[in-house]
Copies of this chain bind each other. A is one copy, B any other.
Amino acid sequence: MQCVKVLGGVVGAAALLGLGIILGHFAIPKGTDSPAPSVSVPQDLDLELLETVMGQLDASRIRENLRELSKEPHLATTPRDEALVQLLLQRWQDPESGLDSAGTSEYEVLLSFPSQEQPNHVDVVGPTGDIIHSCRRSEENLTGEQGGPNVVPPYAAYAPPGSPQGLLVYANQGTEEDFMWLSNQGIQLQDTIVLTRYGGIGRGAKAVNAAQHRAAGLLVYTDPGDINDGKSLPNETFPHSWGLPPSGVERGSYFEYFGDPLTPYLPANPSSFRLDPANVSGFPPIPTQPIGFEDAKVLLCQVNMSIHNRLELRNSSNVLGIIRGAVEPDRYVLYGNHRDSWVHGAVDPSSGTAVLLELSRVLGTLLKKGTWRPRRSVVFASWGAEEFGLIGSTEFTEEFFSKLQERTVAYINVDISVFANVTLRAQGTPPVQSVIFSATKQIPAPGTSSLSIYDNWIRYSNRSSPVYGLVPSLGTLGAGSDYAPFVHFLGISSMDLAYNYDRSKTSARIYPTYHTAFDTFDYVDKFVDPGFSSHQAVARTAGSVLLRLSDSLFLPLNVSDYSETLRSFLQAAQQHLGALLKQHSISLGPLATAVEKFEGAATVLDQHISTTQKGTPDPLQVRMLNDQLMLLERTFLNSRAFPEERYYSHVLWAPRTGSVATFPGLSNACSRATNTGAGSAAWAEVQRQLSILVAALENAAATLRPVADL
């Protein structure tokens, strides 16, 4: 999860960028489009079957999946990562519980690894050059799992090699404001080593900011205040609690974009054109290294860093498994998670993969028994090299751009399935809110006597909706996991599901062992979700959402819920930008009109659906309505709106720098224009962004109107 990009959203706790290697082609055996004649063909969602699936999703099987998935480190493209590819294939090709077909797809992608021969190291040196302190080169082997040869030492993926030496300067979170503050104090940053803590902004941005102030190197540590609610002693942390031990270091990708760095907008096939790595944008400009708080607290004076990371082209696999739809095989419900971890990755990502495997087992078993086949096709995906920048999923969207955009109903992402075992956390675009609500109202919450997941959720995270009253709060999607290319690049309605902690009880930025060698099976089994009932709850939620999307005659996507979002964005724009715009004679009137048109068209469409549902609609009438619902999200794409923001084409969910939840392009353009004169290029850009938005909303509304109105 790139927590950086959408600051205004409900930013979840998983930051899943990383390093891996990919190469490839789809090798799924060709099936046929016609349904096998012996299978009963469901025309609509079967509630009895849904209950059967809910009942069969088994917590102890998820636990066993997790144990197997996380028993060895499986950094992208390593032998264990490839072994898990085979595990997934075997499960999805199982004659008793497998899918219709499964296969792998390889891409050749640029990853970054520390050198084995020359380990990265960070030392404090005295005035005469003598080493006063050496930072740990690996985490303390507390449970016997932190010491193996496959535990990659902590490093900052994509940071360049180099051996800078300089005075240490502490720069808080390394934001622009932090550096400005230092400058204003008269602190000289040139040729220093900057120390920052994780949080506030993305990893890569810290390095970019430090380099802009001419620092020579960057160290980034995890502060106990940000991750352990202040606890920092060995006996207060893992294996004695879920807290991060002093030696724990958060690895991570420091690449600023996502996708393979050498092949933006192109699938990273072996023959694809590749940028010259020397000219790639988005890499950290200076040597950078993450460290633990054990080391951070003793750093002082002159620091020497020796960083030996290197870029490597590697082959990384996606695994895809398919259940062919019985009635509309050309409509896809996608469900995915990444496979690669930084070390053992029990929480990130194996808690998601364990759930994925259990769900595919239950559905595969029903399929193989001949008792069920979905109305639409279901595609399960295990993405490679997510930790290095959502690489496997991004390359997949680049390769199959057209068919995915034309045919995908929705994308369900379950990456970290359980951050903690208190409440559901869901993020998504507005059309998926209703199906998540419907599903969670029917599933009991773990650890409570009688509450549904929905009822439990609303206790921890809620908002007052002008339409529905008090409802659970659905977060927005940034770019923190593999949903990013689906929503931002392809305009597919997407969601991310997980169980989470009680934010009132901890200020932890994310679960403490995130991206460290302490994220192991025992950690999950003892501290995150003993009994695995929260894993089961997520499996049930995701399973129910999937079945509702794959089997319902009418797609359970509520386009009217976009009306509420647009109205709130408009009100925020009027409130926070209206006066400024008025000063420059820019009216929000056309935008208000466009929002009204959208609302009107959505309401009429809802009524039309409702009337149609009461009658006996023929298959084509249903298909036409469903196409309107499915394709609404696409209408918000404009590939020319944000030319500087790689992949971001969705005019409503592009990165926004301000803290007000409103239209991002307009808001960002206003920020940039604020201190420029009338007639500046920046003010022209405000007007351009406003017109792009108005045109997108009018264009969207037009697709919701009766189809024979032009």
Contact = CB atoms under 8 A, between A and B. Distances in A.
A26 interface: yes
B639 A691 contact: no
Contact of A708 (B265, B324, B635, B640): B324
A330 B271 contact: no
A709 B31 contact: yes
Interface in A352-403: 377, 379, 398-403
Nearest to A103: B710
State the number of copies, please.
2
Interface in A28-70: 28, 30-33
Interface string A611-652: 000000011110110011001001100011000000000000
Among A276, A398, A706, the most chain B Cβ lie within 10 Å of the Cβ of A706
B402 A700 contact: yes
Interface in A683-707: 684, 687-688, 690-692, 694-695, 698-700, 702-703, 705-707
A100 B330 contact: no
Contact of A695 (B28, B398, B624): B398
A101 B330 CA distance: 33
A687 B235 CA distance: 58
A705 B403 CA distance: 10
A30 B705 CA distance: 9
Nearest to A275: B684
Nearest to A328: B620
Given A272-B695, A322-B710, A640-B639, A702 B30 contact: no
Contacts of A623: 620, 623
Among A327, A379, A401, the most chain B Cβ lie within 10 Å of the Cβ of A401
Contacts of A635: 401-402
A590 interface: yes
A273 B710 contact: no
A396 to B, nearest CB: 9
A204 interface: no
A325 B706 CA distance: 12
Contact of A33 (B31, B33, B324, B707): B707
Given A271-B691, A400-B702, A608 B33 contact: yes
Contacts of A263: 691
A313 interface: no
A271 B705 contact: no
Interface string A592-618: 000000000000000010000000001
A406 interface: yes
A631 B406 contact: yes
Contacts of A407: 707
A624 B398 contact: no
Given A272-B691, A325-B708, A406-B634, 20 more contacts: A28-B709, A28-B710, A30-B705, A30-B706, A33-B624, A33-B708, A101-B709, A266-B692, A267-B695, A267-B698, A269-B694, A320-B710, A330-B628, A377-B708, A403-B699, A403-B702, A407-B707, A620-B620, A639-B639, A639-B640
16 contacts: A30-B706, A32-B706, A33-B624, A266-B691, A267-B695, A269-B694, A272-B691, A325-B708, A400-B702, A402-B702, A402-B703, A403-B699, A403-B702, A403-B703, A619-B619, A623-B623
Interface of A: 26, 28, 30-33, 100-101, 263, 265-267, 269, 271-273, 276, 320, 322, 324-325, 327-330, 377, 379, 398-403, 406-407, 587, 589-590, 608, 618-621, 623-624, 627-628, 631, 634-635, 639-640, 684, 687-688, 690-692, 694-695, 698-700, 702-703, 705-710
